[in-house]
């Protein structure tokens, strides 16, 4: 009689106490994105028990004893999401070597440490989402998540609705492939017009490059929505906190 084989062992589950890279832990704690944390480590801004950290490969079970610029890092708090109406003329970055104003100069006092989800270039205004959760930031920025962004562009030059509709097939410009764009001509005054564009990739300066490739001069660009979150009548420089219920519901829809 054969001895029955023992059942196969299940793979060990990943414990929350398992050591993780410090950049991942700090991102979850809302300090900064993983990439920005790595830059902070290179700059000598992060320490453990008073010793300056010199490698992002450090593994930790918790953030106990970790400081950033000499200040202790608090334990992670629940993910939060904010809508910010970014004005034109400010950079989507923490600091600028040239001393130009950044979004952090414009944010109201009292906000927790937040990081932008995606970017808006210097002269683009409108909706910029902010979060304290590095995982949510990364998830929303990934093209595979398929989160739609909506822009309105004021542009000068001749264009037809047929030309805009062709963008739904995507377009290649100087070797760079841009995915499908749902573009519609809203209204026209002389050779100036407002164009609405919906896309899910959000490559660097994508809207401007596509419209300039079509022979248009963009004089104003506004992001009006990111996923289900809309700019609405939020005043420039103001911040709106997304309700926790709405954030949880939205995260359930992400791929």
Inside any domain, residue 7: no
Inside any domain, residue 60: yes
Find the distance separating the first CA and the last CA of the chain, reported in whole Å. Answer: 51
Same domain, 109 and 136: yes
Same domain, 120 and 243: yes
In 3-state terms, what secondary structure has residue 240? strand
Inside any domain, residue 169: yes
CATH number of the CATH domain containing 48: 3.10.290.10
CA–CA separation, 129 vs 116, rounded Å?
Answer: 6
User: How many folded domains does the chain comprise?
Assistant: 3
Same domain, 115 and 235: yes
Same domain, 135 and 243: yes
CATH number of the CATH domain containing 114: 3.30.70.580
Inside any domain, residue 85: yes
Of 28, 43, 72, the last residue of a domain is 72
The string of pLDDT tens digits covering residues 152-187 is: 999 999 999 999 999 999 999 999 999 999 999 998
The string of pLDDT tens digits covering residues 80-108 is: 999 999 999 999 998 899 999 999 999 98
Same domain, 200 and 244: no
For the chain, strand residue ranges (E) read: 20-21, 46-48, 51-52, 59-60, 66-68, 71-72, 81-86, 115-117, 125-131, 149-156, 171-173, 176-178, 182-189, 192-199, 217-226, 229-230, 239-241
Same domain, 198 and 245: no
- Residue 10 is predicted with a pLDDT of 41
The two three-digit tokens of residue 203, written as one number? 């490559």
- Between the CA of residue 77 and those of 15, 29, 134, 159, 198, what are the distances in Å? 19, 7, 12, 49, 33
CATH number of the CATH domain containing 204: 3.30.70.1560
Range of the domain at 57: 20-72
Same domain, 124 and 85: yes
Same domain, 235 and 137: yes
pTM (2 d.p.): 0.73
Same domain, 240 and 122: yes
- Tell me the mean pLDDT in the region 228-248: 95
Same domain, 219 and 236: no
Burial of 86 (0-12, 13-18, 19+ CB in 10 A): buried
Q: Could you say which of 121, 182, 238, 246 is catalytic? A: 121
The two three-digit tokens of residue 204, written as one number? 């660097």
Same domain, 152 and 181: yes
Q: How confident is the model at residue 17 (pLDDT cuts 50, 70, 90)?
A: low
Inside any domain, residue 13: no
- Residue 188 is predicted with a pLDDT of 84
Inside any domain, residue 3: no
- Is 238 tagged catalytic? no
DSSP per-residue codes, 26-43:
HHHTTS--HHHHHHHHHT
Of 50, 72, 94, the last residue of a domain is 72
Inside any domain, residue 10: no
- Residue 14 is predicted with a pLDDT of 43
Same domain, 34 and 46: yes
Inside any domain, residue 15: no
Q: Which of 34, 14, 15 is nearest to 24 (CA)?
A: 34
- Tell me the mean pLDDT in the region 13-18: 53
The string of pLDDT tens digits covering residues 31-86 is: 888 889 999 999 999 999 999 998 888 999 888 899 999 999 877 678 899 999 99
């Amino acid at each position: 009689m054969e001895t029955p084989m023992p059942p196969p062992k299940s793979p060990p589950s990943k414990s929350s106490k398992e050591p993780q890279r410090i950049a991942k832990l700090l991102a979850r704690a809302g300090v900064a994105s993983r990439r920005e944390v790595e830059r902070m480590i290179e700059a000598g801004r992060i320490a453990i028990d008073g010793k300056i950290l010199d490698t992002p490969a450090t593994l930790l079970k918790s953030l106990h004893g970790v400081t950033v610029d000499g200040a202790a890092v608090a334990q992670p708090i629940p993910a939060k999401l904010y809508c910010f109406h970014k004005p034109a003329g400010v950079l989507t970055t923490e600091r600028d070597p040239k001393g130009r104003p950044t979004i952090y100069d414009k944010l109201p006092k009292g906000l927790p440490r937040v990081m932008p989800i995606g970017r808006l270039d210097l002269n683009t205004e409108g909706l910029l989402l902010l979060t304290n959760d590095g995982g949510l930031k990364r998830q929303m920025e990934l093209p595979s998540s398929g989160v739609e962004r909506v822009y309105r562009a004021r542009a000068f030059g001749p264009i037809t609705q047929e030309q805009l509709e062709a963008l739904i097939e995507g377009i290649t410009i100087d070797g760079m492939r841009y995915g499908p764009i749902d573009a519609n001509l809203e209204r026209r005054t002389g050779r100036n017009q407002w164009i609405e564009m919906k896309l899910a990739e959000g490559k660097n300066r994508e809207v401007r490059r596509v419209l300039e490739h079509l022979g248009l001069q963009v004089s104003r660009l506004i992001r009006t929505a990111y996923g289900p979150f809309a700019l609405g009548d939020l005043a420039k420089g103001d911040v709106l906190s997304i309700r926790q219920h709405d954030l949880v519901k939205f995260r359930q829809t992400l791929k």
